[in-house]
Amino acid sequence: MPDDVICAHENGVRNALDAGWKILERGGTALDAIEAAVMVMEEDDTFDAGRGSFLTSDGTVEMDALIMDGATLRAGGVGGVQHVRSAIKLSRLVLEKSPHVYFVGEGAERFAEEHGMQLIDNKELVIDREVNRLRELKAKLAAGGKDTTFSGGQDDIHPAEMSSHDTVGALALDVHGNIAGATSTGGTLNKDPGRVGDSSLIGCGCYADNASAAASCTGWGEPIMKLVLAKSAADEVARGKDPQSAARAAIASLKTRLNGHGGIILLDAQGRYGIAHNTPRMAWGVRSAEGAQVGIKR
C-alpha cells in the first residue's frame, strides 16, 4: 500500500466500521453487520472489491465473495461474477434463499436476477485507475518478459501477485452471542478469466463457526487456498490458542510453508480477536462498545 492511499484506506475502514456498528448497537445480527460493512468497502473504489477491483487480463472485473454464519454454519458463496454491483449481497442471498452453498458465473447471475437483484454492465465496475494499472503491468511484462520471477508455474510469484491485494473482509459478534464472517474481492491483477481465489472458498479466505472462530483473509490467494488458512486458524482457536496467537501462527505458516503473503483477521464468540499480516501494511479496524480503532500496521 503506497503512502498516498493510506488515508483513503483508513477512511474506508472507518466507514465500514460505522455501518456495521450501527446495526450491532441496535441489537442486529452479526450477519447483517458484516454484510453492511463489506458493502461499504465494495462501493469504495479504494479497495479491490466491487467497483474499482483489479482487472482480469481481459480488462473485466470478476468478483468472488463468501458470507458465513457461525451460529448455524449456513454459508453463501459466489465466484467469477461480473454483472452485480455487490458480490457480498449476492452471497447473502445465496445463504438465505438457496439450498445450495455456492454459485459461479452465469448461474450465479441468473440466481441474482431471479431473486430481484439488478444486473449491471461490467463497465460500471471498471475505473480508469485500474485500466491504467493493467496497461502498465502488461507493458512491463511485454518489455521485460519475465520481470524476474514470472514463468507461469504455480510456484512462481507473478509480479502482479506481489502488489495486488486489497481484498476486503469483516467479522462481527452480536448481542445474541453469534459470530459471522464475510470476504469479498475482485481477485488479483491480470488474473486469467475464470480464475477463482481463496476469498469465496469456505475455510480458505473466509470461515465462521461459533465453536471456534470467524476468520477473513487477504493476500495472494493460491497459497492461502492450499493451506485452507481461515479454517486452520479457527481450528487453532478451538484447540485453545488465543485469536491473536492463532492469527500470527497462520501468517507465519503461510510464509514458511509456501512463501505466501497476506493477512488474516480472527474473532471468537467471546469477543477476543487477532490481526496479523506479513505484508508491510494492511488496513484494519476494530469497533466495540469502548470505541473504534483503525490502523495500517500491526
Residues lying near ligand GLY in the complex (CB under 6 A): 167, 185, 187-188, 197-199, 205, 218-221
Cβ closest to ligand GLY, residue 178 vs residue 218: 218
- Least distance (Å) between residue 53 CB and ligand GLY: 10
Are 261 and 219 a contacting pair, CB within 8 Å?
yes
Catalytic residue among 29, 56, 167, 185: 167
Rounded CA gap, 182 and 202, in Å? 10
Cβ closest to ligand GLY, residue 173 vs residue 229: 229
Cβ closest to ligand GLY, residue 50 vs residue 197: 197
Rounded CA gap, 207 and 186, in Å? 19
Cβ closest to ligand GLY, residue 22 vs residue 258: 258
- Least distance (Å) between residue 46 CB and ligand GLY: 16
| Active site (annotated) includes residue 167 | yes
- Least distance (Å) between residue 202 CB and ligand GLY: 14
Cβ closest to ligand GLY, residue 29 vs residue 199: 199
- Least distance (Å) between residue 14 CB and ligand GLY: 22
- Least distance (Å) between residue 147 CB and ligand GLY: 19
All 3 cell numbers of residue 38?
463489506
B/e letters for 39-59, b = 16+ CB within 10 Å, e = fewer, are: bbbbbbbbbbbbbbbbbbeeb
Helices (H) and strands (E) in the chain, counts: 9, 11
What single-letter amino acid sits at 293?
Q
Beta-carbon contacts of 148 under 8 Å, excluding residues fewer than 6 positions away, are 159
Of 119, 88, 94, 102, the C-alpha closest to 20 is 88
Rounded CA gap, 46 and 95, in Å? 27
Rounded CA gap, 12 and 28, in Å? 22
- Measured between its terminal Cα atoms, the distance across the chain in Å is 14
Catalytic residue IDs:
167
